[in-house]
Structure 1
Amino acid sequence: MAADTSTRIVWEKILRQAICIRVHSFKVIFLVVIIIVIAWTISQTRCLTFDINARTGQGNSIQGANANAALQETDAPIHTDTRVILLTYMRSGSTFTSELFQTHPDVFFMFEPLHTTWYYQPKVIPYLHNYKRIYFDDMEKFITDVKIDTLTKILQCQFKNLDILTLIQEHWHHSKTTKAYKLCTMDQRGVAGIEKCISILTNACSKAKVNFIKTINLTIHEAEHFIAKDPHLKLIYLVRDPRAILSSQMRYGEFVPNRLNSYSEMFCRTMLSDIQGYAKLKKIHPKQVIFVRYEEIAHKPIPLTETLYDFVGLSLTQNVTKHIYNITNGGNDVDCALCISKSNSTKAAEIWRMQTTHDFVQIVDSNCKHVYQYIGYLPILNASTLTDMNIPVRTSPFHDLVL
């Protein structure tokens, strides 16, 4: 009996020790978890490299232990004589219009730099030198700030300061001044390759007189940021008949036909907001903004190019004039919607009237007629008017846009 009692006492001591060890282990594990969470939070805070509030104009700030080293490795701003943003919409003739500029030897041309940010809307945006920008709560503001930050860096030739997603996107291939960089990164892979090739962009940009960006992913409201801050920045607002834009977008799969009503309503609401914003900018900064319709460029390419060149401070050379003639009168068939060069640019701008139906036009007219009165387009009342090229569907734009 005494032996049993002694054994029980021994086992109780062992059990108490085991419980104490387990409790202590839980405490240790809990403490380790807390330490890991704190360490991760600190690391992420340090990764917020470019925590920019573009709206308040506070500029770039780099946070973290290696901030000074990061600043030493970034590009200093390089200011060309003029910086230009061509703001427009998908399938509005912007690629054709851009070709009028990128053929000039004094232009550094960037094609759709916001595509990756706008299309994928990533929540974590990595930069060179192991820094990141991280989304927390307001996605719309996050993307807007990233877009403004990206365009600011390109306009200042600060390519080392761009995010990696922008630096690896496909659209570098679509510009004569950036294609060499894209080919270089295809040969020199990874981040190390980007760092080796990026000087190609900096050198080309620094030698140009005009730094030109074409984008379909910016609103007039967002562009106002650049106009207000930079007196040497010019904004070209390019529009086209909404029926032509929507017909082409649907043809190439941007939306399905049964969504035409809701999509056209949304599109023209956005367009109206841009038009109203542009009219406001025109009153405040009349020498920095210009409104142009694609159909007018297609109809009179050389006179309109000369007008646009004068606006951004370029001279129309003989070689550029010859190139414009070749791409507007001696190129591909007018039905080649993805081609820059056209056998007849005037017909190419109007070919949509032969490719769509009056039912399509009626839906768009009902949702967009309030836009027509500002930018100078007319409703199409019947099917015969739609296909009769002798009947114009354009009129003069609202005077506040062109004064």
Structure 2
Amino acid sequence: MRNKYAILIICIVVLVIIEKENNIISRVSDKLTLRQMLQTPQTMAEFTVSAPIVLEDNGSVSPITQQYPAVSSLPDVGVPNSTEASVEVEGGRKHILLLATTRTGSSFVGELFNQQGANMFYLFEPLWHVERKLTLDTGVINSSAASWAYRDVLRQLFSCDFSMLERFISPPPEEHVTPALFRRESSTALCEEEVCSPVVKEVLERYRCRSRRCGPLNLTLASLACQAKQHLAIKTVRVRQLDTLRPLAEDPRLDVKFIQLVRDPRAILASRMVAFSSKYQNWKTWAVNGEVPIEDEEVKRLQGNCNQIKMSAELGLSRPKWLQRRYMLVRYEDIARYPMQKAAEMYKFTGIPFTVQAKEWILRNTHATEEASGVYSTQKNSSEQVEKWRFSIPFKLAQVVQQVCGPTMQLFGYKFVNSEQTLLNKSVSLLEEREFNIT
């Protein structure tokens, strides 16, 4: 009797072991199949059409709607056949991502690549659409959902695939045609003849091309034009943390270089109070009527922004393996003082030729007259811009910035002022000479 029970137990154990082995084999097979699918252009296209995917840090795949449900109600779109040209890094194609915050001179630095010439495909703030779509009715964006969305839209754009971005454009494109792409005119490549569709009189395109008359943007033509370019650069002020972009750096299909642009946070506040006047009424009131409440939400937001910039820079400068030879930190002040030198350094870092066309643009746009230098203009007398903020921000506001953004300022070499006289004295430099990109 005991022998029968023993045999029965042994059989059950054997069956359990076999079942576990089958499950392991199945999981390995699934991963191998997925890897083959990701490496096969045709299957990639089919995957994207049926359900846009999110490649997790651990290698698993989940539908985009699980990461940010706001997308689930959007209509499906077709996919331009762009994946085939970007499955591998061919012909030395470089991908540049310029990371910044508002009022740091990022539009000017973006133009350094936009003006490179016929080999560059440049996109100006495509993530504007993503932020707008994911912003709640209260005006608050879910930062976690946004970081996933930003990363995955960037991944597809670097592959010359606009299908995921289409899901965030409002109103939705019709047959991949939209009159609503944010700042289309800021991209030379999107206004070239190959992308310029016939003019449709009844359709108003807010950000229409200035160089030639074009109809609404055909994103299929944009995808084809992107594939024909040797390099691709994207400028954004919406990515908050560098570490969320690690999957892009480790994607074998891409060769991404990250350039982080920073600026003295006192200068940023002074510039924002002018450019976004209605949003900074409290700061103006504090400057005139009394002390700044340090515990106010707007002050905390400023501190949080500074901390995020500092964390990303510290990560980049620590040069982890996934960022080696992929990260560069640039101060706005250095670009303003030495535009040609710093542009040459950025081009050398990216491995892209520094063309005569780009050099000529720099010469034309760093010695502009005061009349040409508007708030949003990329034409500046660059050397004067470095110190201009010191005469527009009250000393008490500068003190608040120093208090809440002190560690960030120290990291980037921005000197503190302890009196209004020092703040207004142009003979006293507030910038330490620093080298950030020593390998």
How high is the TM-score relative to the length of structure 1?
A: 0.73
Give the residue type in structure 1 aligned to 2:344. Answer: E
Give the residue type in structure 2 aligned to 1:115. Answer: W
- Of the three residues 109, 116, 122, the one matched with 1:104 is 116
d(CA) in 2 for partners of 1:51, 1:59: 6
Task: Report the equivalent of 2:52.
Answer: 50
For structure 1, which runs of at least 5 residues remain unmatched after alignment? Answer: 1-46, 64-68, 124-137
Give the residue type in structure 1 aligned to 2:126. Answer: P
d(CA) in 2 for partners of 1:55, 1:365: 36
Verify the 8 A CA contact 1:188 1:194 in the aligned structure 2: no
Task: Report the equivalent of 2:431.
Answer: 394
Task: Report the equivalent of 2:146.
Answer: 143
Task: Report the equivalent of 1:295.
Answer: 333
Task: Report the equivalent of 1:241.
Answer: 264
d(CA) in 2 for partners of 1:240, 1:83: 24
Task: Report the equivalent of 2:103.
Answer: 91
d(CA) in 1 for partners of 2:144, 2:430: 38
d(CA) in 1 for partners of 2:268, 2:368: 24
Give the residue type in structure 2 aligned to 1:56. Answer: N
Between 359-368 and 254-263, report the one with greater CA deviation: 254-263
Task: Report the equivalent of 1:16.
Answer: none
Give the residue type in structure 2 aligned to 1:326. Answer: R
Verify the 8 A CA contact 2:51 2:63 in the aligned structure 1: yes
Task: Report the equivalent of 1:78.
Answer: 85
Q: Give a deviation string over 1:173-217, Cα, whole Å, max 9, x none.
A: 321112465876976969xx9998123312321122210000011
Between 280-289 and 227-236, report the one with greater CA deviation: 280-289
- Of the three residues 223, 246, 261, the one matched with 1:202 is 223
Q: Give a deviation string over 1:240-272, Cα, whole Å, max 9, x none.
A: 111111221222234441565333222212222
Verify the 8 A CA contact 2:197 2:217 in the aligned structure 1: no
Task: Report the equivalent of 1:371.
Answer: 408
d(CA) in 2 for partners of 1:330, 1:176: 21
Give the residue type in structure 2 aligned to 1:297. Answer: I
Q: Structure 1 residue 307 and structure 2 residue 314: aligned?
A: no
Verify the 8 A CA contact 1:233 1:288 in the aligned structure 2: yes
How high is the TM-score relative to the length of structure 2?
A: 0.67
Q: Give a deviation string over 1:93-149, Cα, whole Å, max 9, x none.
A: 1001111110111211000111122234168xxxxxxxxxxxxxx954432222112
TM-superposed CA distance for 1:285, in Å, is 2.7
Change (3 A) 1:292 1:72: closer
- Of the three residues 270, 273, 289, the one matched with 2:308 is 270
Change (3 A) 1:172 1:187: farther
- Of the three residues 165, 168, 191, the one matched with 1:165 is 168
Task: Report the equivalent of 1:227.
Answer: 249
Q: How many residues align?
A: 335
d(CA) in 2 for partners of 1:51, 1:94: 30
d(CA) in 1 for partners of 2:160, 2:389: 38
Q: Give the aligned CA root-mean-square deviation in angstroms.
A: 3.4
Whose helix proportion is higher, 1 or 2? 1
Verify the 8 A CA contact 1:297 1:304 in the aligned structure 2: yes
Verify the 8 A CA contact 1:83 1:234 in the aligned structure 2: yes
d(CA) in 2 for partners of 1:284, 1:152: 16
Give the residue type in structure 1 aligned to 2:134. Answer: Q
Task: Report the equivalent of 2:68.
Answer: none
Matched residue of 1:338: which SS? coil
- Of the three residues 345, 351, 356, the one matched with 2:393 is 356
Verify the 8 A CA contact 1:95 1:340 in the aligned structure 2: yes
Q: Structure 1 residue 153 and structure 2 residue 191: aligned?
A: no
TM-superposed CA distance for 1:299, in Å, is 0.6
d(CA) in 2 for partners of 1:73, 1:104: 26
Verify the 8 A CA contact 2:250 2:322 in the aligned structure 1: no
Matched residue of 2:85: which SS? coil
Matched residue of 1:349: which SS? helix
Between 104-113 and 248-257, report the one with greater CA deviation: 248-257
d(CA) in 2 for partners of 1:144, 1:187: 38
Matched residue of 1:200: which SS? helix
Task: Report the equivalent of 1:114.
Answer: 127
d(CA) in 2 for partners of 1:139, 1:184: 39
TM-superposed CA distance for 1:347, in Å, is 0.6
TM-superposed CA distance for 1:339, in Å, is 0.8
Change (3 A) 1:85 1:228: same
TM-superposed CA distance for 1:340, in Å, is 0.4
Verify the 8 A CA contact 1:107 1:211 in the aligned structure 2: yes
d(CA) in 1 for partners of 2:220, 2:313: 38
d(CA) in 2 for partners of 1:88, 1:73: 30
For structure 2, which runs of at least 5 residues remain unmatched after alignment? Answer: 1-48, 66-75, 170-177, 205-213, 287-295
Q: Give a deviation string over 1:140-170, Cα, whole Å, max 9, x none.
A: 4432222112111110101245333346432
Q: Structure 1 residue 380 and structure 2 residue 387: aligned?
A: no
